[in-house]
Chains A and B, each alone.
Chain A
Amino acid sequence: MKNGMKKGKITMIITAGIACFALVLVMTMQFKIVNEADITSIENMRKSELSTELANWKTRYDEVNKQYEETTAMIEEYKNNKESNEETSNLMDSELEQINMSLGKTDVEGQGVIISIKETDNEEVEKITSDDLLVIVNALKLAGAEAISINDQRIINMSDIVYIDAASVIRVNGERILAPYTIKAIGDSSYLESSLIGNGGAIDEMKKKGQDVTIDKENNVTISKYNGDIETKYME
């Protein structure tokens, strides 16, 4: 009886010790965790806090993303504008070049013909007049010449080819030109040539009169620009 009591007491003591040990162990561990845990750090946040934080960040992310997209769209727009500006300026440039070329403000070169007309010493032969030159120039224009010059006087839209009887000189663009005359024209060289020679052609006619006219097809004819200024006063 006494032995049994003692045994029961010993087990009781041991269990109490173990229970206390377990309880205090867990409690101290818990104290330590609570003491040392940094509640603000992400690892220690509760689920609800984390989810609210996450939602906040998500909205901020969305906002920033929206801003980014807007900015990208703006940049794209600017780029497009710039490109279209560049396009228009390129277009303008090429147009300007084209216009300058057709106006005769630039030196041009290309295939064409060179016509040389020399004064003959023969008294019986008619002198070269502006009419001859005009006929040739007209024929060249008809044949699709893109640029014409007479003795390096560029023929532009307002060019004049006149014969002044009193002084018996030919003026082109208001400048006096002297023989020998060289007419250069750029265009399809065979068209240009065929418009002048052949039956009824201006050069043939002139040759019949005994004037010294030659026509040469050239692959590379250079025609210099119009020297004067092109001014408009009344045109609007």
Chain B
Amino acid sequence: MIFIAILIGCILGALIGMNAPMISYTYSSYLAIAVIAALDSVFGGINSVINKNFDLKIFVTGFFGNAILAILLTILGQKLNVDIYLAAIVVFVGRMFINLAMIRRYFVDKWIKAFEERKNRKSKKEEKIEAKTEEN
């Protein structure tokens, strides 16, 4: 169910984004920062789901709040003539890598466990079969 919602959201977003009017190139840096912030939030959310401490309120506020904050910081940086967006990118992308690493570790662990379980089961079955043949 949730995957259908995500799929519909993605398709709708892509369609509307394709047909949306062009935004001036000047503002594209703000948009890029917002995208990075949102992506960071998404990976953070996935990570928290894995760790079973996912909170919808925190996710939503983080998703939009981080994006808006990143945009505001970028604007402030341009006003101050400091490239603050570089700091934002470093932080967000660094966190994205950390979250991705957590996710990867979780799935790797899961797969290894599943693999071992199957192996164990298989060996147990073999033992059983062996025992049965011995009985026979």
Q: Which residues of A contact B14 (CB under 8 A)?
A: 24-25, 28
What range describes how many residues of B lie at the interface?
A: 20 to 34
Binding site for B on A (CB under 8 A): 8-9, 11-34, 36-37, 43-44
Is there a chain A Cβ closer than 8 Å to B63's Cβ? yes
Selected contact of A30 from candidates B26, B31, B59, CB within 8 Å? B31
Q: Which residues of A contact B56 (CB under 8 A)?
A: 8, 11-12, 15
Known contacts A8-B56, A24-B12; can you find 6 more A-B pairs with CB under 8 A? A13-B2, A15-B59, A20-B13, A23-B13, A23-B42, A27-B17
Q: Which residues of A contact B26 (CB under 8 A)?
A: 44
Question: Given the complex of chains A and B, what is the CA–CA distance between A139 and B37 in angstroms?
Answer: 119
Selected contact of A33 from candidates B10, B22, B60, CB within 8 Å? B22
Question: Given the complex of chains A and B, what is the CA–CA distance between A103 and B31 in angstroms?
Answer: 97
Q: Which residues of B contact A26 (CB under 8 A)?
A: 13, 17, 31, 34-35, 38
**How many residue pairs bridge A and B at CB < 8 Å?**
99
Q: Report which residue of B1, B10, B18, B56 has the largest number of chain A beta carbons within 10 angstroms of its beta carbon.
A: B10
Determine how close the nearest CB of chain B comes to the CB of A132; give it in whole angstroms.
109
Interface pair B25/A14, CB less than 8 Å apart: no
Question: Given the complex of chains A and B, what is the CA–CA distance between A142 and B72 in angstroms?
Answer: 107
Binding site for A on B (CB under 8 A): 1-2, 5-6, 8-10, 12-14, 16-18, 20, 22-26, 28, 31-32, 34-35, 38-39, 41-42, 56, 59-60, 63-64
Interface pair A21/B63, CB less than 8 Å apart: no
Determine how close the nearest CB of chain A comes to the CB of B79; give it in whole angstroms.
12
Selected contact of B13 from candidates A15, A24, A43, CB within 8 Å? A24
Interface pair A24/B28, CB less than 8 Å apart: no
Interface pair A23/B35, CB less than 8 Å apart: yes
Known A12-B56, A16-B5, A22-B13; contact A36-B38, beta-carbon cutoff 8 A: no
Residue of B nearest to A12 (CB): B56
Determine how close the nearest CB of chain A comes to the CB of B80; give it in whole angstroms.
13
Determine how close the nearest CB of chain A comes to the CB of B71; give it in whole angstroms.
11
Selected contact of A25 from candidates B16, B22, B63, CB within 8 Å? B16
Interface pair A14/B17, CB less than 8 Å apart: no
Q: Which residues of A contact B38 (CB under 8 A)?
A: 19, 22-23, 26
Q: Which residues of A contact B31 (CB under 8 A)?
A: 26, 29-30, 33
